[in-house]
Structure 1
């Protein structure tokens, strides 16, 4: 039988372990770590000879002290050093938390993102929090958010159900960006089923006018279930890898598919999806088992 002294030692050791894990989850992994997640693949139907490097940043959630403008600048410096052909931003620039000391204004985070460089440009889509934090856009039921305007003002192309054709070494490819799938909230009712998306996958893909490969940018990965094989690769964020992850599994994932599209490289029926673990935090400033990351994808 365990003695009182033994119980107190066990309790003290357990408490210290939980305190250490909590400190790591709140102070170390969200703030002090930055990984580079690398993927290399040649999707079905990819143009022979086309070698393309994509660097992707997702889910910054700009706020202090967790993601100040100075940290965004340092992330952009690290991204530039990875020598992308094209850099993409996958949405959620606005904070999604109340536990902040200051919200970083769109003029600040967009100025920081303006330091990104890539020969084929920097291209962006919006995320759900970029819509939810803009009361005017919610009342209007669409149009542009302050995030759209801030990025465009910083010289970054924003894709709202739009496809553009780019070229690398004489080989063409399409970059298609969807508007957010959870853009409009129904008043004060928090129900995913009631949210209205402004995405138009079919209309976006109709803008593709040749057989060059298509890369799709979509903030939420749930759209992947209906993405046709015509799309070579879908890039998403939103889930943060669950933000807390144990042995490849996240207890809570903001997706109706649970862990199916939570994180990493997913292949279904020869279709490819890569979901970034993101950079910032949403709801609560904690990360455990899924540190902030920049994604690098080498195609071909």
Structure 2
């Protein structure tokens, strides 16, 4: 995980201290002991970053170290960076305005304090604050017997993060889903962080997810063992093991496949396409194979982990009326109404529509980093009704 962004991380650790040295710390008022005390945390972060960067796995085997690293970034490195940026901007304004009062420092202190608060809140309360959202869609071609169908949409559980006391969060998510009495449950990928062994402690918990019309799932980018060290053969075995475990839960795992659901004399189709991502994410999707055998005009609910596939593949090459996705986590953080995933994803969170076709992007339940701020862990209950207009 760290290796991919090692150089940018070093820069955000080092450059703020360079600025502070040039503009504050080198003043005679500070002793060498005070200077070393200030610089010591950054030195430790550089060492910590280097150790994690050489780890062969995307996440260390003991996830505690990844959590500690993220915590130090959140309460020390990032707030200090924000303060320095504000101070530098304020200094530039001072020089342009020939003023000696740098208001940027005061603004920077306030924003840095807010960043610390947001991180601590998100790391403790926010990650556990599960939200049940209700969405009603009036769709074309929905057979009469399925009018009012309740679909529970879950995504991005990343169960390896729910260790220790956090395990009760996943248990509450299961309870909350079942309490909604859905007709069917759909899971749109990323059940693990890195390896299938993460599922073993929570298999009984996940096996409780049942619905009258079944539980359906697809794989996400993390589920292909992409982030697992080792050989291609070892990663392939890990992927096969994960598929076996999902099926062992009683879930219908769809790998570029579809199945029919019947009620009375009516039927609909659930299609599940493998991850159809853009680099660096896996691209295993085959929409033609996924839709094979579905009659023209039949109502189809598509499951696809990566929402970028909707405009790239699903809209032009399928007839699926409703698509459910995840992957983005909604960025997990929203500050002042902005999410960083909006920079990369046209469809990053919530409901989208093109004509009479719909996409819903779920914010996910978990994440490799157990942190949420204004983007709650999400369970979505989607009620499908017949479009009578």
TM-score (norm 1): 0.81
Q: What is the SS of the residue equivalent to 1:267?
A: strand
Residues 49 and 168 (structure 1), Cα distance of their counterparts in 2 relative to 1, 3 Å cut: closer
The 5-angstrom pairing of residues 1-300 of structure 1 reads 14-30=111-127, 32-51=128-147, 52-64=149-161, 68-95=166-193, 105-131=198-224, 132-133=226-227, 138-139=232-233, 144-182=239-277, 192-193=278-279, 195-209=281-295, 211-225=297-311, 226-228=313-315, 230-246=319-335, 248-252=337-341, 258-282=344-368, 284-300=369-385
Residues 28 and 263 (structure 1), Cα distance of their counterparts in 2 relative to 1, 3 Å cut: same
What's the offset of the Cα at 1:41? 0.7
Q: What is the SS of the residue equivalent to 1:59?
A: coil
**Partners of 1:244 and 1:77 in 2: CA distance:** 25
Q: What is the SS of the residue equivalent to 1:24?
A: helix
**Partners of 2:151 and 2:352 in 1: CA distance:** 17
**Partners of 2:337 and 2:100 in 1: CA distance:** 35
Q: What is the count of residue pairs matched by the alignment? A: 280
Structure with bigger helix share is: 2
Residues 248 and 217 (structure 1), Cα distance of their counterparts in 2 relative to 1, 3 Å cut: farther
**Partners of 2:258 and 2:210 in 1: CA distance:** 20
Structure 2: unaligned runs, 5 residues or longer: 1-98
What's the offset of the Cα at 1:133? 4.4
Q: Is the 8 A contact 1:87 1:123 kept in 2?
A: yes
What's the offset of the Cα at 1:241? 1.0
What's the offset of the Cα at 1:164? 0.3
Q: Name which one, 1 or 2, has greater alpha-carbon Rg.
A: 2
What's the offset of the Cα at 1:248? 5.0
Q: Is the 8 A contact 1:69 1:104 kept in 2?
A: no
Q: What is the SS of the residue equivalent to 1:265?
A: strand
**Partners of 2:280 and 2:379 in 1: CA distance:** 32
What's the offset of the Cα at 1:199? 1.2
**Partners of 1:137 and 1:234 in 2: CA distance:** 34
Q: Deviations over 1:53-94 (max 9, x none)?
A: 100110011124568544322211110110111001111111
**Partners of 1:245 and 1:14 in 2: CA distance:** 15
Q: Is the 8 A contact 1:261 1:275 kept in 2?
A: yes
Q: CA RMSD in A?
A: 3.1
**Partners of 1:117 and 1:59 in 2: CA distance:** 18
TM-score (norm 2): 0.64
**Partners of 1:79 and 1:278 in 2: CA distance:** 13
Select between 211-220 and 284-293 the one with higher mean Cα deviation: 284-293
